Structure 1
Amino acid sequence: MAQQKKMPRPKAETPKGFRDYFGAEVDERKVMLDQIAGVYHRYGFDALESAAVETVEALGKFLPDVDRPNDGVFAWQDADDDKWMALRYDLTAPLARVFAQHRNDLPTPYRRYTMGPVWRNEKPGPGRFRQFYQCDADTVGCASMAADAEICALLADTLETVGIPRGDYLVRVNNRKVLNGVLEVMGLDEGAARDAVLRTIDKFDKVGERGVRELLGKGRLDASGAYIDGVGLTDAQAEPVLAFLTSKGADATATLANLRAAVGDSVIGADGVSELEQIADLLAAQGYGPDRIEIDPSVVRGLGYYTGPVFEAELTFEITDEKGRSRQFGSVAGGGRYDDLVKRFTGQAVPATGVSIGVDRLLAALRAKGRIGGKAQGPVVVTVMDRARMADYQAMVGELRAAGIRAEVYLGNPKNFGNQLKYADKRNSPVAVIAGSDEFDAGKIQIKDLVLGAKIAENATLEEWKERPSQFECARGDLVAKVREILEADDA
């Protein structure tokens, strides 16, 4: 009889493009999500938690990757009804489906916020994963520029709430209609040439004015030395685009004047400039100056997605990358007006505008600035000296927890006491509680200040040791008070 072949053991590895998050990282994210939700809620937005799975049909052509709209998702065919399903790519397309499905029961305008993971089947890279968190706030059913101005204000307030001070960020605002007006002046209707110009414009922040000029013309050499073919426009044909991209002036008034010149006689372009002017006036009335929010024509987002104003939040401080080079951190949030999204379901135009904040990017920025990070404080560990007294140890833990102090009993093998302290150290515990039979009989316990003990081991004078010993004895009834005293002293 042939011997049955053993199944190989699965390899313990994270799937490509994904990662695991532990302790402090999860806690830091939760704190940030709560902070962001607090701002969104204060602005009057209601929470929504939609399904993580949508039909591919519902996601449709409004996936951000317009060149391959269904290739950027994790999709599968449902065995029951043969429909193709996909993990949500963003949080905006699900909102369009939710509003279309429940519009008779929802208020209009509908103001909602939502946060959670999204999944993108894209090539991963350094700091770029296939699953990441977003926090969105959107207003559906309002065509007024007041909704767009409010989103910009909300974005600025949110950044400051999570720990990005004024001066370290800038919310930049543009309008897709202005760009459409420029393209109209150029005589570019829908087609391959227009799409090529749009793709080139989208590279402005990477290659600058000179790079865009070359790419609109004959082409250019990229950083690797490879030659990239250009669109083939003459200098005169390319000039309106360059005038648009470089029209930022000393203040909003100057920028708007330059944009009016760039769009010429285009009606849609003039409409876009007027909308930007309304947003600027509404923000100024609320006290949001150009140090926080500014009109910037170089902002071009989601060329197939947005229909009007677009916004982008950029962190302006510099960080050191993995190669030791100094660079600006860049964008952490973006959004805009997308008036055609709900129409796909209802056949009727429904105006909408919103913003999406990349939580992982924001957390990375705060870590880079040293504003968060390091080890998260672990629980107080009650060590076990006598297995027969486990009920007494559990009683101590119960008292600590009832007082709001995070605590646990050591549940490993208690034979080696040194291993218990090593465990507490690995858990980054601030305090260890020690009690054996002698202590219990005397109504006493030993309390070890692990934070102070670590400091003394590193660098402390004898005087400091005498003033505050890292381990002391106290009455059993003083457990909670003494532990709290140590925790407060360590936090001071």
Structure 2
Amino acid sequence: MSKKKNKPFRPKARRPRGFEDRNAESLRAEARLIQAAFSVYDMHGFEPLQTPAFEFADALGKFLPDEDRPNVGVFALQDDDEQWMSLRYDLTAPLARFVAENYDALAKPYRRYQAGSVFRNEKPGPGRFREFTQCDADSVGAAGPAADAEMIMLAAEVMRAAGLKDGQYAVRVNNRKLLDGILEASGVPNTEAGAVQRLQTLRAIDKLDRLGADGVEALLGEGREDESGDYTDGAKLNAAGIKAVLGFTTASAEDRGETIKTLESLVGQSERGKSGVDELAQIDTILNAVGFGNDRVSFDTSIVRGLGYYTGPVFEAELLADIRDRKGRPVRIGSIGGGGRYDDLVSRFRGQSVPATGFSFGVSRFLSALERMDALETAAKPPVVICAFDRSLMGEYFKMAAELHAQGVRAEVFVGSGNVTKQMKYADRRNAQVAVLMGSNEMAAGEVTLKDLYEGAKAAQAIESNEEWKSTRPAQETVSRDGWVKAVKAMLDDADN
């Protein structure tokens, strides 16, 4: 028997495409951003909720079972009852299921916030992952534009909480009813028969910033072939309809009040269009009352949101900073989140209309934008490393770490194996600024030795000989055991100043 056959199987260390390993810096930045958003939602009286990663496939709504397995787009499996379960593709569909399941027990409107991973069984690519984190806030059971206005204000406040200044972001608002009114006047019925045309129109307008007016015009008509040769079928609007839709996308002005006046003339006699204008007017009144000016929230008729389930006001949060690539060319970040009114999702379960509105942002996309804007908070400081100079003193070392923790200083005791030299290399790998050394002699004398590794590295570059290094011992000091914590904090503070 060959030796090869006796060799134990060792799987290759690899991860599936479209799934990321997340390092400490990334996770800390994500946690800070989510907590900033949560603090806004909590201040406004919203409550946290956590729904499971798996839902029954038919509860997701968008992806229903197709023959032997659910449709493409979700990750699905059968449980032991042979029912199809799918990983959630967003946080909204599970919320609709939760509200329907607990409807009578919930105070309404039910106001919740949540963050968590969502999953898309789609082809991964640059910046496009199969697993990513979303952060949502929703109000379910509240009809009328007041709840929408609150969501819009929440979106703007999250921008500030994330560290952005006014002028670095804008929240742009529109209303689906306005476009429905324009399409209705152009011969597209507001019925199931016209649903495909309306959705294709929405998706065409949603590409306005990427394709420009000419590309959108083609998608509103017969269709468009892109640079790769792929052809996208169009909405098949007539010439008058295309002109009306394109005119609608440019109807907004800098002042919200002026936009409302323009829209009143555009929607004509369409009852649905007039309802949309009235809702925007009520939102404008609320925003003005609390000081949300045109610089923070504007009305923009080019904002439609590509998803088909929105039924009223829609909005997007956009970053406006002047960002350049390495060649000095402007980089447009664009929308990092959005939301709007969706009154039909919960009704799938209950057979009755349940009004709802919400705001969602992709955490990774938002963080990437903040990083480009140099708006991310500094990462957590590396820990102070307490070297295990004498293993018989481990209890004392952990006591010292606890003393630092009590003063809000990150610290760890070296619990691995190796001599002091190896422990100092470990401290360097951890990017620690301060290393602490105390043996039995120092403990008997009531002393602790502190090494400022940052200053030591600088000084070492200027020292020419090993003898000189030994004689000077740069950036090292011995302090009393009673005052050592204060000395460590002083070292750390000096590095910050």
- Quick one: distance in 2 between partners of 1:146 and 1:292? 18
Q: Which moved more, 1:148-157 or 1:82-91?
A: 82-91
- After alignment, is 168-177 or 430-439 more displaced? 430-439
Deviations along 1:321-365, whole A, 9 cap, x unmatched? 588742111111110000011111111111110101222122112
Quick check: 2:163–2:376 contact (8 Å CA) kept in 1? no
Q: Which moved more, 1:329-338 or 1:262-271?
A: 262-271
TM-score normalized by structure 1?
Answer: 0.90
1:478 matches 2:483? yes
Following TM superposition, by how much is the alpha carbon of 1:7 offset from its aligned partner in structure 2, in angstroms? Answer: 5.6
- Alpha-carbon separation, structure 2, partners of 1:470 and 1:458: 13
Question: Where does residue 37 of structure 1 map in the other structure?
Answer: 38
Deviation at 1:31, TM superposition (A): 1.6
Q: Distance in 2 between matches of 1:487 and 1:336?
A: 47
Aligned counterparts, 1:27-426, within 5 A: 27-61=28-62, 70-79=71-80, 81-189=81-189, 190-191=193-194, 192-217=196-221, 219-220=223-224, 222-224=226-228, 230-321=234-325, 325-372=329-376, 376-415=380-419, 417-426=420-429
**SS of equivalent to 1:278:** helix
Letter in 1 for 2:108: T
Percent identity among equivalent residues?
Answer: 51
With 100-109 and 186-195 compared, the bigger mean Cα shift is at 186-195
Query: How far is 1:69 from its partner?
Result: 8.5
Distance 1:424 1:119 in 2: 38
Contact 2:316 2:335 in 1 (8 A): yes
- Shifted more, 283-292 versus 7-16: the winner is 7-16
| Map of 1:447 onto structure 2 | 450
Letter in 2 for 1:473: T
Structure 2 equivalent of residue 464 of structure 1 = none
Output the CA distance in 2 between the equivalents of 1:258 and 1:229.
31
User: How far apart are the structure 2 equivalents of 1:407 and 1:75?
Assistant: 44
C-alpha displacement of 1:195: 4.3
Query: Residues of 2 paired with 1:226 and 1:350: CA distance?
Result: 40
Residues in 1 aligned to 2:233 and 2:103: alpha-carbon distance in whole angstroms: 47
Q: Please report how far the alpha carbon of residue 393 of structure 1 lies from its aligned counterpart in structure 2 after TM superposition.
A: 2.5
Structure 1 194/396 Cα, relative in aligned 2: closer, same or farther at 3 Å?
closer
Return the offset for 1:451. Answer: 3.1
Which of 475, 484, 492 is the matching residue for 1:487?
492
Q: State whether residues 18 and 128 of structure 2, in contact with CA within 8 Å, keep that contact through their aligned partners in structure 1.
A: yes
Higher deviation after alignment, 394-403 or 132-141? 394-403
CA RMSD of aligned residues (A): 2.6
Distance 1:271 1:457 in 2: 73
Q: 1:253 Cα deviation (Å)? A: 2.5
Compared CA separation, residues 255 and 86, structure 1 to 2 (3 A): same
Distance apart, 1:6 and its partner CA: 4.7
Q: Secondary structure at the match of 1:350?
A: coil
Q: Is the 8 A contact 1:299 1:310 kept in 2?
A: yes
Distance 1:459 1:328, change over 3 A: farther
Inter-CA distance 87–221: structure 2 relative to 1 (3 Å threshold): closer
Partner of 2:466: none
Distance 2:283 2:460 in 1: 59
Deviations 1:152-197 (A, max 9, x none): 1111011111111110111001111111111111111324544443
Partner of 1:434: 437
Matching residue's letter, 2:139: T
CA 1:266–1:108 in 2, change beyond 3 Å: closer, same or farther?
A: same
Structure 2 gap segments, 5+ residues each: 464-472
Gaps of 5+ in 1: 461-467
Paired letter, 1:435: M
Q: Could you tell me which amino acid in structure 2 is paired with residue 152 of structure 1?
A: I
1:85 partner SS: strand
Look up the match of 1:19: 20
Deviation of the 1:134 alpha carbon: 1.5
Q: Secondary structure at the match of 1:477?
A: coil
Q: State the alpha-carbon separation in 2 of the partners of residues 172 and 270 from structure 1.
A: 20
